[in-house]
Structure 1
Amino acid sequence: MIRVYLAGPMSGYPELNFPAFHAEAARLRAMGFEIANPAEIDVGPDPTWLECMRACIKLLSDCDGIALLPGWEQSEGANVEHTLARGLRLRVMQARHIVGLAGDMPVISQEAVVKLLDEAEAA
């Protein structure tokens, strides 16, 4: 089973954006993914940003890929996680583009494939 870490913005969002994390985790789990959801980590009462990041990085390091939630680009923590995932050569995907699972391969939407092809042609 493929284990995917969810990354996205939390700081400054109502309820730390947990509803978006939980909804995406439920959607991907229904497809058969094993999800590492940072919104499910208990780092104790009133943790610092660094304490949260240390817990998240430990969780991410045990995953096969990362699924990025909307707004991740504006999140300092999600940018750290994205950079680490790329450095570890994990699969990096936009969460919204994931439409299924075939064995241990994520299936992405046609829209995502077209976008990737367009980017490759432009390069």
Structure 2
Amino acid sequence: MKRIYISGPMTGLPGLNHGAFHQTAQQLRALGYDVVNPADTPAPSEGAHWEAWMKADLVQMLTCDTVALLPGWEASKGAHLELHVAHRVGMNVVSVAELHHQELEDISA
């Protein structure tokens, strides 16, 4: 089973966009993925600064083999950092839409 990390925009969005993260996590789990959802990350011990959150999230992301990008990730400074790290360490990167499309193709094949 693939372990997958959800990456996407949070800062400046209502509820930090947690609804989209939780909905996507639920959908991916239903498809059989082991999901790491940064919306579930406990507050870092270093404080609630953006940098502390990113450090905590990157540690979790690096336990995965795939990063799934939510719509709107392009506007997220954190998602860009996660994408850069993912590319540098050789992780698979896909959009959430691609995962859903591929799963539907696999089911109908």
Structure 2 unaligned residues grouped into runs of 5+: none
CA distance in 2, matches of 1:108, 1:87: 26
Match of 2:16 in 1: 16
Match of 1:30 in 2: 30
What does 1:1-123 correspond to in 2, within 5 Å? Answer: 1-43=1-43, 47-99=48-100, 107=102
Mapped contact 2:44–2:56 kept (Cα < 8 A): no
Mapped contact 2:10–2:76 kept (Cα < 8 A): yes
CA distance in 1, matches of 2:103, 2:74: 20
How many percent identity over aligned positions?
A: 38
Give the counterpart letter for 1:12 in structure 2: G
CA distance in 2, matches of 1:67, 1:47: 24
2:67 match: secondary structure: strand
The structure-2 alpha-carbon separation of the partners of 1:44 and 1:54, relative to structure 1 and needing over 3 Å to count, comes to closer
CA distance in 2, matches of 1:94, 1:7: 9
Give the deviation of 1:97 after TM superposition.
1.4
1:93 match: secondary structure: strand
Give the strand-richer structure, 1 or 2.
1
CA distance in 1, matches of 2:19, 2:7: 13
Give the counterpart letter for 1:32 in structure 2: G
Aligned-residue Cα RMSD (Å) equals 1.8
Structure-1-length-normalised TM-score: 0.79
Mapped contact 1:97–1:109 kept (Cα < 8 A): no
Structure-2-length-normalised TM-score: 0.88
CA distance in 2, matches of 1:54, 1:44: 9
Q: Runs ≥4 in structure 1, deviation > 6 angstroms? A: none
CA distance in 1, matches of 2:85, 2:59: 11
| Greater C-alpha radius of gyration | 1
Give the counterpart letter for 1:88 in structure 2: V
Provide the aligned length of Structure 1 versus Structure 2.
104
